[in-house]
């Protein structure tokens, strides 16, 4: 049986060509020509701000927080329903994460609950556009401006999303991106920050390079910093990938439309939210299974895997993990409810119509069987 993976890489001629150029030049690490090329192309794509490559999406978040002066004694507001990178980054700079529940209608952070969570110690809001869904950006911008808070956007899953018909990328002080292999474009490992202000960009560039200024004396450091640099090889892959992003997004949109065609009218699922004036990034086809418990969802994952189809559960809410127990002071009902019944389906660019139909039919079949309480042999 040929397994259908949740995601397959698309690495072609250009990626191999540019990587080979790096190998031949002998310049494999930081400050090679592809680092700047990739940053320039990313700036053009977003259409705003100053782009800075990083070693991964988590170091992008850490670097951003340090650049903005977030440190011990500060609080940063984040969503309960997210991958762990944002909360880990906040803890790593010594700040306290303040976890907020999500909105049922958007799966993103609840704006009303943001207001109730702000204290004198609040320094920033770190907003995650979960599953490529654009959060309530206008309201959150108003809150951050009124309360004089930094607004950081985690766009790891939202590259390619649109707001008011334009490609979305930067509304706050800065946005961070991840180029892990399962993202819209990849560098193998890598990240990017887009800063609104040039002085933040310049500071982050120094911090990224162990606290050294460009063209400064070798081994002379003007501030404590990180090694958060992207290699020339990783940037070469990213440069090839970003040239193909428009065709990637077209293919992903068609794939999402196919899934919608086969699944929407079954009555078994709630499709991914699409807030007003937004368009999803088509990162990972994700849906909520109606009236499903976590145990049923997990049984469904096993049954589909037995059929050769890899699927993925949702992120565990931060409030459910012991690692963050000291930051949990209340119940997060919506994130727990949503995460327990979410399923992500294969979203590879090479997925053909007949495979999408097969996945959809088997998903419906097993969901109906589990809903009826029928036992599997």
pLDDT at 376 over 60: no
**CA separation for the pair 77, 31 (Å, rounded):** 34
- 286: which 2 tokens? 């994700």
- What pLDDT, in 10s, does the model give residues 341-365? 999 999 999 999 999 999 999 999 9
- What pLDDT, in 10s, does the model give residues 315-346? 999 999 999 999 998 778 899 999 999 999 99
Q: What angle do CA 115, 137, 281 make, to 5 degrees?
A: 135
**CA separation for the pair 305, 358 (Å, rounded):** 13
The phi and psi torsions of 201 (rounded to 5 degrees) equal: -60, -45
- What pLDDT, in 10s, does the model give residues 2-43? 899 999 999 999 999 999 999 999 888 888 899 999 999 999
**Range list for CATH 3.90.1150.10 in the chain:** 245-371
What pLDDT, on the 0 to 100 scale, is given for residue 76? 98
Task: Give the start-end residues of each E strand in 170-304.
Answer: 174-178, 191-195, 269-271, 278-279, 286-289
What pLDDT, on the 0 to 100 scale, is given for residue 216? 64
What pLDDT, on the 0 to 100 scale, is given for residue 374? 62
What pLDDT, on the 0 to 100 scale, is given for residue 333? 85
**CA separation for the pair 197, 182 (Å, rounded):** 30
Region of poorest pLDDT, from 110-124, 230-244, 273-287, 361-375: 361-375
Measured over the CA atoms of residue 15, residue 17, residue 18 and residue 19, the dihedral's sign is positive
What pLDDT, on the 0 to 100 scale, is given for residue 206? 94
Q: Which fold has domain 13-242?
A: 3.40.640
Q: What angle do CA 99, 101, 106 make, to 5 degrees?
A: 130
Q: Which residues of 215-254 are buried (b: 16+ CB within 10 A; e: fewer)?
A: eeeeeeeeeebbebbbbbbbbbbbbbbbebbeebbebbee
pLDDT band at 375 (very low <50, low <70, confident <90, very high): low
What pLDDT, on the 0 to 100 scale, is given for residue 165? 87
What pLDDT, on the 0 to 100 scale, is given for residue 129? 96
Neighbours of 292 (CB within 10 A): 21
**Range list for CATH 3.40.640.10 in the chain:** 13-242
Residue position matching structure tokens 């809903």: 371
Answer yes or no: CATH 3.90.1150.10 is held by domain 245-371. Answer: yes
pLDDT band at 213 (very low <50, low <70, confident <90, very high): confident
For residue 141, count CB atoms less than 10 angstroms from its CB and return exposed for 0-12, middle for 13-18, buried for 19 or more. Answer: middle
**CA separation for the pair 77, 96 (Å, rounded):** 9
pLDDT at 1 over 70: no
DSSP 8-state assignment for residue 353 = H
**CA separation for the pair 67, 198 (Å, rounded):** 12
Neighbours of 259 (CB within 10 A): 22
- What pLDDT, in 10s, does the model give residues 240-282? 999 999 999 999 999 999 999 999 999 999 999 999 999 999 9
- The number of angstroms, rounded, from the C-alpha of 161 to the middle of its chain's C-alpha atoms is 11
On whether the CB atoms of residues 251 and 135 are closer than 8 A, the answer is no
pLDDT at 221 over 60: yes
pTM given for the model: 0.95
Q: Which residue has the higher pLDDT, 377 or 133?
A: 133
pLDDT at 366 over 60: yes
**CA separation for the pair 31, 326 (Å, rounded):** 41
DSSP 8-state assignment for residue 283 = -
On whether the CB atoms of residues 264 and 270 are closer than 8 A, the answer is no
Q: Which of 36, 41, 3 is nearest to 232 (CA)?
A: 36
- What pLDDT, in 10s, does the model give residues 280-320? 999 999 999 999 999 999 999 999 999 999 999 999 999 99
What pLDDT, on the 0 to 100 scale, is given for residue 350? 93
What pLDDT, on the 0 to 100 scale, is given for residue 222? 83
What pLDDT, on the 0 to 100 scale, is given for residue 377? 54
- What pLDDT, in 10s, does the model give residues 136-159? 999 999 999 999 999 999 999 999
């Amino acid at each position: 049986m040929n397994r259908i993976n949740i995601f397959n890489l698309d690495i072609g001629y250009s990626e191999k060509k540019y990587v080979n150029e790096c190998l031949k030049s002998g310049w494999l690490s930081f400050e090679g020509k592809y680092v700047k090329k990739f940053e320039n192309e990313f700036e053009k794509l977003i259409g705003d701000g100053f782009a800075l490559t990083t070693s991964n999406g988590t170091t992008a978040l850490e670097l951003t927080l340090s650049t903005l002066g977030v440190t011990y004694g500060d609080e940063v507001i984040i969503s309960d329903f997210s991958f762990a990178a944002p909360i880990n980054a906040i803890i790593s700079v010594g700040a306290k994460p303040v976890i907020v529940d999500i909105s049922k209608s958007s799966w993103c952070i609840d704006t009303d609950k943001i207001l109730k969570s702000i204290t004198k110690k609040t320094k920033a809001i770190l907003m995650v556009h979960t599953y490529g869904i654009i959060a309530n950006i206008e309201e959150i911008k108003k809150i951050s401006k009124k309360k004089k808070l930094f607004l950081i956007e985690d766009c790891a899953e939202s590259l390619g999303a649109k707001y008011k018909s334009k490609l979305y990328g930067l509304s706050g002080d800065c946005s961070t991106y991840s180029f892990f292999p399962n993202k819209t474009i990849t560098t193998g490992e890598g990240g990017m920050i887009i800063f609104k202000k040039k002085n933040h960009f310049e500071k982050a560039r120094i911090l990224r390079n162990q606290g050294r200024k460009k063209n400064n004396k070798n081994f002379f450091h003007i501030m404590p910093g990180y090694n958060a640099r992207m290699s020339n090889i990783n940037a070469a892959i990213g440069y090839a990938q970003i040239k193909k992003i428009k065709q990637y997004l077209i293919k992903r949109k068609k794939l999402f439309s196919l899934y919608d065609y086969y699944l929407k009218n079954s009555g078994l699922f709630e499709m991914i939210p699409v807030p007003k004036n937004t368009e999803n990034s088509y990162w990972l086809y994700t849906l909520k299974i109606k009236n499903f418990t976590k145990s049923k969802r997990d049984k469904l994952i096993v049954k589909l895997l037995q059929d050769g189809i890899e699927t993925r559960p949702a992120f565990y809410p931060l409030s459910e993990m012991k690692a963050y127990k000291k930051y949990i002071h209340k119940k997060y009902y919506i994130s727990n409810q949503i995460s327990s019944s979410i399923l992500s389906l294969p979203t590879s660019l090479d997925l053909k119509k007949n495979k999408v139909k097969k996945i959809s039919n088997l998903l419906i079949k097993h969901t109906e069987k589990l809903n009826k309480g029928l036992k599997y042999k």
